[in-house]
Structure 1
Amino acid sequence: MAGQDRRSIRRGYAVCGDRLVHYRRAGEGPPVVLLHDSPRSSVLHLPLLREFSDEFSVYALDTPGYGQSDPLPADPAPAIDDFGDALAGAIGTLGLSGATVYAYHTSSKVALSCALRHTALIGHLVIDGISLPPEQVPEAFISAYMSPFDIDAEGAYIGRQWTKIRDLHRFFPWFRREVGARIPMDEPSLEAMHAYAMDLFMAGPNYSSAYAAAMRYRALEVLPHLETPTTFMARANDVLYGYLDTVERCLPPRATVQRLPADDAVWREQLRALFRQPVGRPGPVPAPVASDRKARRRYVGLDHGQVHLHESGGGAAAVLLLHDPPGSGLDVQDLAAALDGLRIVAPDLPGCAASDPLPAPAAADDFAHALLALMDAEGIHQFAILALGLSGPLALALVAAAGDRVTGLALDGMPVLDADSRGAIAGRYAPAILPARDGAHFLSTWHRLRDEQLQFPWFDGTQRAARRAEPDLDAWRLHHRLLATLMQPERYGDACRAALSCDPTDPAMRPAGPVLAFEVDGDPRYQGVAKWCRGLPQGRCEPRPVALSRTARILRDFFRSVA
């Protein structure tokens, strides 16, 4: 996503009980809520957010379990009414009662349930494509259609899911791969295919939850009881277009049907006209969700854009925990949890995962000033830093910028390299990621991230590059790093390049305060750090334990000693 788009489209979380609902928001004016189909996310509605933000306050929500929204409890499997109630909770939390709600495909049944169970909540419901089969969908069909999203340590799941994604756009049902099941439509563009795949991979095992619930929902039986003013619509090229005939046969008293041509311009014009219809609600909606600041995941607005962060723990001592780029703050949550008694702030570095990138080209000093602004925004004056991998040089730049605001610095996995080595690595460390129709960019990125655990630099297969630290090849952690990297394929390498442009031996980056550095004998990822650390005024080097609990104990003791 381009930087300009991310400045105009803001993201946030609504705190709904113990769940977080992620949303995107743009514009000012009467409120409009956009709901996506499955297995998509609010990313689907980026074009509509841009289209209608000139006139409306447009909110696009991630359904629970999709995008970045927390899932509903999985046992028992959630029904559509559970999703409808969750939607009502999100609308209420965001202060959007009385808004126009636009629902597309799967979400049409979620919105229908919400309107039936919370009759005064939605001002005007716009349903764009709804499936109304006369009989209950057989469980055998649902089971086949919702094939499980199972990952593995070898990466084979990537090809399996990518093939399914392609066939979802070629056959109905996707598993009936024959001429008679071919869908009369063009394949999506590479960009659209990548976005669809990202949404499915992000939903993971939850991808089928709302999907299956919608298939089981007997919408035809409850439709006549709908009291909310509703417009049922579909475009002529929509596979659900034919169900408008069914809608007309049981049309609720306050509902109308609109048949649209297969013309996106006409569709957008009609949506604008529908969104303009008065629904007896108040005027423009103010910026919502003060409770967002209490969320364990949240966005913080800075001059360059938004930074996404994870916060955990508590106590007076604050630690800024920087993940190894590429990746995200999610990568370090096990470590954060082990550092009990400390307030841990773990952002996605700018350009990584859900954090907006800095203006290009971004140097280490730019990252340092953004991170310092983040701590200012969080009201944290003094803090320690724990930097993993290549975030180490960025942490050194931050120490230089923050001065005595940083009480101590801990480093785990920062190599200290000469200029020639850093330059040679920088040129290859974060290669361009270009979407491929066969999904090869997913698999090649997965291997690149896995190789990081086994050799440094990751592209060097020689014996001298073999790492000595025990590799973390956990399939789910690798999966989450894959998604974090592919969320911004054009900018994921910014932090890596900025780090590799830094010389830790530069006197200007020499920390005067307490420094703890871990070392692993013979591991190229840790090369040079012991000698460098022992040359510092308050430097201390420790062998890195294999067990997380022992590592956390050393770190806790260090951070408490410098607090």
Structure 2
Amino acid sequence: MITRHYIRLGDRHVHYRKAGSGPILLMVHQSPRSSAEYAALMEKWAPHFTCIAPDTPGFGQSDPLPGEPDINDFAEAVHALLDALGIDRCAAYGFHSGAIILMTALKQSPARFTRAAMGGYAVWTPDEMALFGDAYLPPFHPADYGEHLTWLWNRILEQSWFFPWFATDEAHRLSVAHDDPARVDAVVREMLDAGNAYQAGYGAVLRAPRDIPPTDAEMPPCLITAYDGDPLQAHIDRLGDMPSGWEARKVATPDDHQHASLDHLLAGEYPEEPALPEADDRGFVAIDTGGFDGLIHWRGNRGSDALHLHEPGRALDSTAAPDALHIDLPGHGLSDDWNSQAPKDWAGWAALIDAVSAELGTLKTHIPAPPPGDPARLYPDLTPDRFGAYLTTAWQIVRARHFFEPWYEAKADNARAFDPADLALEKLATEHRDLLRARAARPYHLALLDKDN
């Protein structure tokens, strides 16, 4: 099972995923992704390592770095995390821009790492850097009517067709093109989480110097591989001379890359896994009620005796009050979904809530009333589609529900009073993410109706 955790580093929270047992393996994801991209790989490598995959600053659920950070700041954030977790030495893996961050961390403190494996390492030519320019990382801010979502969907989709994504000519075509809505949606959601912070993280990587440590440097063993279809495979030939114990080679498939990386990492000797501390104001608890077996996300004051639940289609991010304890219910926010179909009766949800209350030590629960309207119309199907229309559908819903109740009755008789401040774009963006994550909104609404009856 992959578990999820937070740790506080000064004023910043860092979110990370963990799986397995044994020696620590740090896994640094590429930009603009999050540690979620490593879920399948963590399950593969969990029998050999305790896999620790943090969201790098500004991505996933990790807070961004202040100011205008460069690659050294992102590498130092890696060391700060390891320090906070009590990890003195470990193995490490990075893919694409994650490899750039890892390479910088290696150069900052080579003794910290026992071995490293990387999936591609970019060494751009001056002409390639000129092509990227400012076009590769345009600002990404929410727009009143969801225009940013149309751009985002097509930008992520065509990133698998051309590299860079805006160079739409035969010379920049990729052999790994696809139009899989689920794969596009995964990256789109991570970009929505990052917002314009993606510019800092991705930009730091693009601007980073491309210097392999000198051949006489004392460095831990490192393997760099890139597979057919990876735009960085050609960069293997650009790496030049490397330190003793370093190797770079081309492989045929992603599986070949993963197998070679694992074999390399397993060849080292490692210290035992330390106990890992956690933040005291947010986290995840494992709950098993039969119908639900997974992680529930919580935030707030762990000493509070009252548990606050959100409305259907919402999440704790947009409803949390100070000095209180809130959770994301299953199929909402950052919590896992129900094992199969979410229950439509209150008994199924009540059993889950009671289990969470027992785990968190709360004595009473604040349960919201269901919003007015037909559940079948309040929560339409938002399954990712080939053209990304679900994104703009959700955006229109979160705007309309500030004006009308229910939102789908845009009539004078259904007008509701609203505060214009509630239309602030960042607030709407949070509500939009909550609605996209609300896989179980309709059954939860029906369960609340069942409770009242």
**2:352 partner amino acid:** A
**1:427 partner amino acid:** A
Q: 1:223 to 1:443 in 2, by over 3 A?
A: farther
Shift of 1:131: 0.8
Shift of 1:86: 0.5
SS in 2 for 1:352: coil
Q: 1:480 to 1:345 in 2, by over 3 A?
A: same
Gaps in structure 2 of 5+ consecutive residues: none
Q: Distance in 2 between matches of 1:450 and 1:27?
A: 43
Matches of residues 139-538 of structure 1 in structure 2 within 5 Å?
A: 141-220=132-211, 222=213, 224=215, 225=217, 227-247=219-239, 249-261=240-252, 263-278=253-268, 280-283=269-272, 285=273, 288-292=275-279, 294=280, 296-303=281-288, 304-311=293-300, 318-333=305-320, 336-337=321-322, 343-359=323-339, 360-362=341-343, 363-381=345-363, 383=364, 385=366, 387=367, 391-392=368-369, 425-470=374-419, 472-487=422-437, 490-503=439-452, 506=453
- CA deviations on 1:153-208 (whole Å, 9 max, x unpaired) are 22111112222222322222222333333333322522111101111111111112
1:124 aligns with 2:129: no
**1:484 partner amino acid:** D
Q: Distance in 1 between matches of 2:251 and 2:413?
A: 64
Q: Which residue does the alignment assign to 1:399? A: none
- CA deviations on 1:243-270 (whole Å, 9 max, x unpaired) are 21222x2211231123211x23323322
Q: 1:33 to 1:487 in 2, by over 3 A?
A: farther
Gaps in structure 1 of 5+ consecutive residues: 1-7, 338-342, 394-413, 416-421, 507-563
Shift of 1:140: 8.3
Matches of residues 46-85 of structure 1 in structure 2 within 5 Å?
A: 46-73=39-66, 75=67, 77-85=68-76
Q: 1:152 to 1:332 in 2, by over 3 A?
A: same
Q: Distance in 1 between matches of 2:392 and 2:313?
A: 16
SS in 2 for 1:244: helix
Please point out which of 102, 108, 112 is paired with 1:111: 102
Q: Distance in 2 between matches of 1:276 and 1:88?
A: 22
Q: 1:223 to 1:148 in 2, by over 3 A?
A: farther
Structural RMSD (CA): 2.5
CA contact (8 A) 1:452 1:458 kept: yes
CA contact (8 A) 2:174 2:229 kept: no
- CA deviations on 1:347-379 (whole Å, 9 max, x unpaired) are 112210101234433232333333333333233
**1:180 partner amino acid:** A
**1:253 partner amino acid:** S
CA contact (8 A) 1:39 1:200 kept: yes
**1:361 partner amino acid:** A
- CA deviations on 1:289-318 (whole Å, 9 max, x unpaired) are 3333x1x32112222322112215x9x865
Shift of 1:13: 1.2
Q: Which residue does the alignment assign to 2:81? A: 90
- CA deviations on 1:455-513 (whole Å, 9 max, x unpaired) are 2222233444332454732221121122223235x43444223223333xx4xxxxxxx
- CA deviations on 1:311-355 (whole Å, 9 max, x unpaired) are 15x9x865433322212111024xx24xxxxx3112112210101
Q: 1:88 to 1:484 in 2, by over 3 A?
A: same
**1:479 partner amino acid:** A
Q: 1:192 to 1:179 in 2, by over 3 A?
A: same
Q: Distance in 1 between matches of 2:338 and 2:174?
A: 42
Q: 1:237 to 1:138 in 2, by over 3 A?
A: closer
TM value normalised by structure 1: 0.73
Higher relative contact order (CA 8 A, sep 6+): 2
**1:289 partner amino acid:** L
Q: Distance in 1 between matches of 2:127 and 2:46?
A: 39
Q: Distance in 2 between matches of 1:133 and 1:226?
A: 25
- CA deviations on 1:429-449 (whole Å, 9 max, x unpaired) are 322222112110111111122
Q: Distance in 2 between matches of 1:252 and 1:365?
A: 62
Shift of 1:217: 1.1
**Count of aligned positions:** 445
- CA deviations on 1:60-107 (whole Å, 9 max, x unpaired) are 22111001111111x2x1111111011112223334433221100001
CA contact (8 A) 1:426 1:501 kept: no
Q: Distance in 2 between matches of 1:113 and 1:347?
A: 37
Q: Distance in 2 between matches of 1:319 and 1:23?
A: 27
Q: Which is higher, the Rg of structure 1 or of structure 2?
A: 1
**2:62 partner amino acid:** S
1:14 aligns with 2:7: yes
Q: Distance in 2 between matches of 1:273 and 1:69?
A: 30
Q: 1:21 to 1:470 in 2, by over 3 A?
A: closer
Shift of 1:272: 2.8
CA contact (8 A) 1:358 1:366 kept: no
Q: Which residue does the alignment assign to 2:16? A: 23
Q: 1:318 to 1:164 in 2, by over 3 A?
A: same
**2:317 partner amino acid:** L
Q: 1:264 to 1:138 in 2, by over 3 A?
A: closer
Q: Distance in 1 between matches of 2:154 and 2:419?
A: 33
Shift of 1:136: 9.5
**2:398 partner amino acid:** L
Q: 1:191 to 1:317 in 2, by over 3 A?
A: closer
Q: Distance in 2 between matches of 1:242 and 1:37?
A: 18
**2:433 partner amino acid:** L
CA contact (8 A) 2:304 2:325 kept: no
Q: 1:478 to 1:13 in 2, by over 3 A?
A: same
Q: 1:298 to 1:139 in 2, by over 3 A?
A: farther
